[in-house]
Structure 1
Amino acid sequence: MSIITTARPSTAPAVDPDRWPDVARVPHAPLRAAVAERLLRRIAARRGLRVELPGGRALFAGPDGAPVLRLHRPRAFLRRVGAGGLIGFGESYQAGDWDSPDLAGLLTALADRPETLVPPGAGLLRRLYVTRPPAAELSTEANARQNIQRHYDLSNELFALFLDPTMSYSSALFDGPPGAAPWEALAPAQHRKIDRLLDLAAVGPGTRLLEVGTGWGELALRAAARGARVLTVTLSAEQAALARRRIADAGLTDLVEVRLSDYRAVRGEFDAIVSVEMIEAVGRPFWPVYFAALDRLLAPGGRVALQAITMPHERMLASRDTYTWILKYVFPGGQIPSLRAIADTTARHTRLRVATADAYGPHYAQTLRLWRERFTARDEQVAALGFDEVFRRMWELYLAYSEAGFRTGYLNVHQVLLTRDGAR
């Protein structure tokens, strides 16, 4: 019997159709839902998943300890996935159509070797639901501020609920293999990450440092504590306001300027440039502009230290024009580069060359696990800030989805040193 006909329970998050129109709407797509059901059966069998229907009945039992996909509303789930692919899969989670007792574990099973997830012929079905990112989200100077504000200006209080006291929103660097590092290890690991980047850029007393992407100011604070003079730029008004307060509280306003500015508008000359996980927001069409700006701003003999989320080059090419759930709901206008793309772009458009590149993917998986556990443990406090259940489920999925990417190697994170001659 088709699981499309399985009875649906009545409980679901309250979905505001004005705030979440595509989550509130279940597509009428019975034929595509039937195709999605066939793919679900195949994927569950190939990946050893346990698929549970309402009432606890198992469609697939799976092996002992198998990741669990628990369908609360099978008809809605299949119609959303059939009509929207992975975007529909994410929206279905936001709507409460499905769940898992170990969300990151389930997504890790699905993210492993994604090219084998569906049969080769089924790849043609992507044309039915894959769309290009909308022009309004392309990271032009006119659009970039709005893209950044949609994520980083949600609420400083929201980020403070799940980030460590350094307010660092990027991969930490743990002391040794990350393993199952506890929450208390996160702040020291963030400082270790920052200090290594400052060391790569040779930041010390008197260094003229440009930071592209302020975050909440921790890197600027540590650079100024070394005696550097720092200009840090951001498009997030919320981040800029808190960073300025933190810098003033530390008594370092004479060494640090926080400027609300696009990187393309910066002028001057700097001995060192550092940018932490900002290139992902630049957008592929603007990578040459971004690196050319770094080259233009770097003084002779200077060094650029980047921390960048990366993906394998072939996967980057395959997904470069795809509008994903993450782009639609979490990071509009973004594109994750490959290490090869960074090297090729700098070689073609600048005098900069990659001198070193070190990978820390497992450290990001651990960082994300700690953030996700903190976020879900503080669900009531997130709700008290005015974020509804659809939003909270969206962020839980985003954090677990990202963690799975780093667990499987689908994503990685690199610290990259760029110099004009390519020398270390």
Structure 2
Amino acid sequence: MTLSTSPDIPVAATGRRAPVDPKRWPDVALLPRASALRTAIARGLVERALVRMPLRVRHGDGHRRIPRPGVPQDDGPTLTLHDPAAFHRRIGVDGLIGFGESYMAREWDSDDLVALLTVLATHVDDLVPAPLRRLRGLWAHRRPHGDRSTIEGARDNIQRHYDLSNELFALFLDTSLSYSSALFDTLPATWDALTAAQHHKIDRMLDLAGVGPGTRLLEIGTGWGELAIRAAQRGADVLTVTLSEEQRGLALRRISDAGVAGQVTVQLRDYREVEGRYDAVVSVEMIEAVGAEFWPAYFTALRRLLAPGGSVAVQAITMPHERMLATARTHTWISKYVFPGGLIPSPDAIARESAAVGLAITHDTGFGDHYAETLRLWRERFVDDPDSVDALGFDGTFRRMWELYLAYSEAGFRARYLDVRQLRLVATGQDGEASR
């Protein structure tokens, strides 16, 4: 996919925002229509929330809003509003989608983007006064019907993200091309430790699933093939399925280069279309793309495809249950621009949906701090090489979108709003496994 480019001119250098391609980014290039009253209400709510938080707000002209007494005035990250009117107008119309689009439009910046977003995530319940939360439906957009993860819709949703460009992902991922949380020996992490930490994560997943010589393994969500390669190197026979043509092509080459092509089959297939029974089933951060409507189908497939005595290992990003319910039908900035059709589940939802099909969780370990460090390393790598991103045909607006996505995700883990967990599931009633 090739995106048209536009000059990325800093606001501070020119006194104006850089141009945004209206064909590629229509909702960023143009301000939404909004009444003066709606914008004023948004401004009042935003200022009321921000003034209570440990951060500083500056206008582009250097004007500083003084926080209320009791709130640190010289500590915390700075939110700099280059265009306060546009910032409040977008939020008044589109809520947090408008907040993200305002960043893409260069209407605001921060001296520490992750720290700012961490403050906001930590105080997420303070952003809207409690009496107004019941009116969420008046301003929060519903998810587009076309983003539903039906068999046809899932292919389109996956391709909109993972088929952007293999070269793009290679710019910020380590040599394993693992696009999920690593598991480090020590924190904070370094770039040099990332590949070993990704292998540590993969190996623990394979251990949970009991993968060894002769294991018939099904992997749901191929990525770029690293887990399949390491499973084959253990002596397993692997079927791995993906909906990304770009990923499949590169995974096949990497599997061949690793010398395990005879043990690994890579199919372009939806998990609901897979047949057979497998000694082990592994799925790394794929459930987030399924969507709540299809979680029963996902867990039914896991149970149906599992051979007697086998084990399922799942790595999943999670969020608290009440927050999951609040966002389940909401069209967010992430679902609009980054991951259409998905929803991060709660641990309660995973437990309920797995139990409903006869799967019991026998192991559950969280390591959200490790995801925050993984994302930090990816983000730093990405922002340090803008010329290579531009050379692939992506423009400055895309770079700001991707930086915000990585920073937004990192902040979620640093604020404990998000977690990542590795789980082992077995069929209930099998040799007492479920009671372990």
Please tell me the residue identity of whatever aligns with 1:407: R
Aligned to 1:404: 411
Which residue identity does 2:157 align to in structure 1?
N
Whether the 8 Å CA contact 1:49–1:60 is kept in 2: the answer is no
1-side partners of 2:138 and 2:305: how far apart? 45
More divergent stretch after superposition (31-40 vs 304-313): 31-40
2:385 to 366, 378, 398: 378
- Tell me, yes or no, if the aligned pair for 1:52 and 1:60 is still in contact at 8 Å: no
- Tell whether the 8 Å contact from 1:311 to 1:410 is kept in structure 2 after alignment: yes
Structure 2 gap ranges (5+): 1-13, 429-433
Question: Aligned partners of 1:324, 1:356: CA distance in 2, in Å?
Answer: 32
Shift of 1:10: 4.5
CA distances 1:184-204 after superposition (whole Å, capped 9, x unpaired): 111111000000000000000
Task: Give the match for residue 157 of structure 1.
Answer: 167
Please say which of residues 37-46 and 312-321 is displaced more in the overlay. Answer: 37-46
Greater shift after overlay, 44-53 or 59-68? 59-68
1:245 counterpart (247, 253, 256): 253
2:227 & 2:146 partners in 1: Cα distance? Answer: 31
SS in 2 for 1:254: helix
In 2, the alpha carbon distance for the partners of 1:305 and 1:376 equals: 33
Find the counterpart in structure 2 of residue 299 from structure 1: 307
In structure 1, the residue matched to 2:73 is: 63
Name 1:367's counterpart in structure 2: 374
Residue 356 of structure 1 aligns to a residue in which SS? strand
- C-alpha distance in structure 2 between counterparts of 1:384 and 1:128, whole Å: 42
Q: Return the offset for 1:46.
A: 1.0
**Which one-letter code corresponds to 1:295 in the other structure?**
R
Structure 1 position 116 matched with structure 2 position 126: yes
Distance 1:344 1:160 in 2: 37
In the other structure, the counterpart of 2:319 is 311
Partner of 1:4: none
**Structure 2 CA distance, aligned partners of 1:398 and 1:18?**
21
The alignment partner of 2:52 has SS state of: helix
Question: Where do residues 9-158 of structure 1 align in structure 2 (5 Å cutoff)?
Answer: 10-29=15-34, 30-60=36-66, 63-158=73-168
Contact 2:219 2:240 in 1 (8 A): yes
Deviation (angstroms), 1:40: 2.3
Letter in 1 for 2:402: W
Superposed CA deviations along residues 174-231 of structure 1, whole A, max 9, x for unmatched, are 114x2x2111111111000000000000000000000000000000000000000000
How is 1:148-187 mapped onto 2 (pairs within 5 angstroms)?
148-176=158-186, 178=187, 180-187=188-195
- How far off is 1:121 after superposition? 2.4
Conservation of the 8 A alpha-carbon contact between 2:55 and 2:75? no
Matched, 1:230 2:235: no
Match of 2:217 among 206, 209, 224: 209
Q: C-alpha separation between the residues in 2 aligned to 1:373 and 1:239?
A: 23
Instruction: Please tell me whether residue 261 in structure 1 is matched to residue 266 in structure 2.
Output: no
Within 1, Cα distance between the matches of 2:410 and 2:99?
17
2:343 to 317, 335, 354: 335
Q: Distance in 1 between matches of 2:44 and 2:270?
A: 47
**1:139 partner amino acid:** S
Answer yes or no: is 1:276 the counterpart of 2:281. Answer: no
Equivalent-residue separation in structure 1 for 2:89 and 2:174 (angstroms): 39
Secondary structure of the structure 2 residue equivalent to 1:173: coil
The answer to whether the 8 A contact 2:313-2:423 is kept is yes
TM-score (ref. length: structure 1) = 0.95
Is 1:281–1:334's contact at 8 Å kept on the other side of the alignment?
Answer: yes
Q: Report how many aligned residue pairs link the two structures.
A: 413
1:298 and 1:371 mapped to 2: Cα distance?
34
Compute the RMSD of aligned alpha carbons: 1.2
Q: Secondary structure at the match of 2:106?
A: coil
Query: TM-score of the superposition, structure 2-length normalised?
Result: 0.93
SS of corresponding position for 1:287:
helix
Asked whether the 8 Å contact 2:364–2:424 carries over to 1, the reply is yes
Question: Quick one: percent identity of the two aligned structures?
Answer: 62
Report the residue type matching 1:91 in the other structure: E
How far does the alpha carbon of each residue in 1:149-192 deviate from its partner, in whole angstroms, 9 at most, with x for none?
0000000000000001100000000114x2x2111111111000
